[in-house]
């Protein structure tokens, strides 16, 4: 029940933001494990796997979601009693949520050091990790200003300007297409991430790549704030990040669209910024150039690699 509710909220974006989605999915699994009272270990596993699948299927791009689900579900196979299995899920979900919150705090502290007194920043969309850096810099006494974009079609920029305003940070609210007009007034771009691939490309809210390209042209540095669980292990094996395309009615009202039979709305929710437009990715484990994404995947999400090796061994045996 709680899993279905959470899944619906993630789909409709009532719950949004890659980190928050991951924590809410972990919490849904935790509650689900608590609520399964009937059955044995086998049926518990089956129930939990069903719930994991439902949650992962909600939004395809933010890799924080499958990574979080994987972390909570890992160890379920090895559990020997139903109670062990239940306790394991609950414990790992709590651990994930706590470590995610700590990660966001650490990133804020690390990221703030890259912001200088007097800087004007630009952010796109609404990222708790990116905003954490900006707010931490402000709290440490640095005088900063922020340009925040509107973020069509879902207007996440409105959430961003409210947060910045509440923190007492001087903010300029601009439409997405005004970034190039103002980029020469900007010292540093800070954005979040939904996924980071092994070649250091960053998948984030649609428009991020235009912002980064514009910044690159103007020689303005681009900093990405991303927890390690936003790195995508399977990109090592060539798996591509699926870019979610949402309904056209988020962009153009149905009653208008109906009068325009030759017009189709395209509404990708994310885009890919290549590594060469990114100067630094700030994680809770420290800042690194995007080209070092593999190290994070290997050291923090090694499970993906192990799984691949297992599969590979099986495949070679088949070939013999």
DSSP secondary structure string for all residues of 223-234: EEE--GGGB-GG
DSSP letter (8 states) at residue 177: G
Q: Which of 3, 6, 7, 17 binds ligand RI2 (CB under 6 A)?
A: 17
Subset of 211-230 contacting ligand RI2 (CB under 6 A): none
Q: Does 19 bind ligand RI2 (CB under 6 A)?
A: yes
Determine if the peptide bond prior to 153 is cis (ω within 30°). yes
CB of 205 to ligand RI2, least distance (A): 3
Q: Which of 63, 196, 198, 269 binds ligand RI2 (CB under 6 A)?
A: 269
Beta strand segments in the chain, E: 120-123, 145-149, 170-174, 188-191, 195-196, 202-205, 221-225, 270-273, 280-283, 286-288
Q: Of 87-95, 124-132, 253-261, 286-294, which part binds ligand RI2 (CB under 6 A)?
A: 124-132
Subset of 138-197 contacting ligand RI2 (CB under 6 A): 156, 191-194
Q: Which of 6, 7, 16, 150 binds ligand RI2 (CB under 6 A)?
A: 16
Q: Does 23 bind ligand RI2 (CB under 6 A)?
A: no
CB of 59 to ligand RI2, least distance (A): 7
Q: Alpha-carbon distance 84 to 48, whole Å?
A: 14
CB of 220 to ligand RI2, least distance (A): 18
Residues designated catalytic: 125, 194
Rounded to 10°, the helix 41-56/2-12 angle is 10
CB 223 within 8 A of CB 111: yes
User: What is residue 61's three-state secondary structure?
Assistant: coil
Q: Which of 114, 205, 216, 234 binds ligand RI2 (CB under 6 A)?
A: 205
User: What is residue 173's three-state secondary structure?
Assistant: strand
Q: Which is nearer to ligand RI2, 67 or 127 (CB)?
A: 127
- Alpha-carbon dihedral sign for residues 151, 142, 185, 278: negative
Q: Of 16-24, 84-92, 211-219, 256-264, which part binds ligand RI2 (CB under 6 A)?
A: 16-24
User: For binding to ligand RI2 (CB under 6 A), which residues are involved?
Assistant: 16-20, 125, 127-129, 156, 191-194, 204-205, 269
């Amino acid at each position: 029940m709680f899993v279905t509710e959470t899944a619906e909220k993630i789909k409709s974006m009532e719950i949004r933001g890659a980190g928050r989605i991951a924590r809410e999915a972990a919490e849904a699994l935790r509650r689900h494990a608590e609520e399964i009272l009937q059955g044995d270990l086998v049926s518990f596993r089956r129930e939990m796997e069903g719930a994991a699948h439902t949650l992962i299927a909600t939004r395809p791009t933010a890799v924080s979601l499958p990574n979080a689900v994987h972390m909570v579900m890992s160890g379920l196979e090895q559990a020997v009693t139903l109670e062990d299995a239940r306790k394991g899920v609950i414990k790992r979900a709590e651990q994930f949520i706590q470590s995610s919150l700590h990660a966001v705090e650490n990133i804020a502290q690390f990221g703030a050091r890259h912001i200088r007194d007097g800087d004007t920043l630009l952010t796109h969309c609404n990222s708790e990790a990116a905003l954490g850096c900006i707010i931490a810099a402000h709290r440490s006494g640095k005088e900063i200003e922020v340009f925040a974009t509107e973020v069509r079609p879902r207007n996440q920029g409105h959430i961003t300007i409210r947060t910045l305003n509440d923190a007492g940070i001087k903010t300029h609210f601009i439409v997405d297409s005004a970034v190039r007009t103002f980029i020469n007034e900007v010292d540093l771009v800070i954005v979040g991430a939904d996924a980071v691939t092994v070649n250091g490309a960053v998948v984030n809210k649609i428009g991020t790549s235009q912002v980064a390209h514009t910044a690159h042209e103007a020689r303005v540095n681009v900093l990405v704030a991303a927890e390690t669980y936003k790195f995508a292990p399977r990109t090592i094996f060539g798996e591509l990040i699926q870019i979610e395309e949402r309904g056209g009615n988020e962009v153009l009202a149905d009653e208008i669209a109906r009068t325009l039979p030759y017009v189709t709305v395209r509404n990708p929710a994310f885009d890919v910024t290549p590594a060469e437009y990114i100067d630094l990715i700030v994680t809770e484990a420290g800042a690194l150039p995007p080209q070092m994404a593999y190290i994070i995947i290997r050291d923090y999400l090694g499970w993906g690699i192990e799984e691949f090796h297992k599969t590979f061994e099986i495949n070679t045996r088949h070939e013999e």
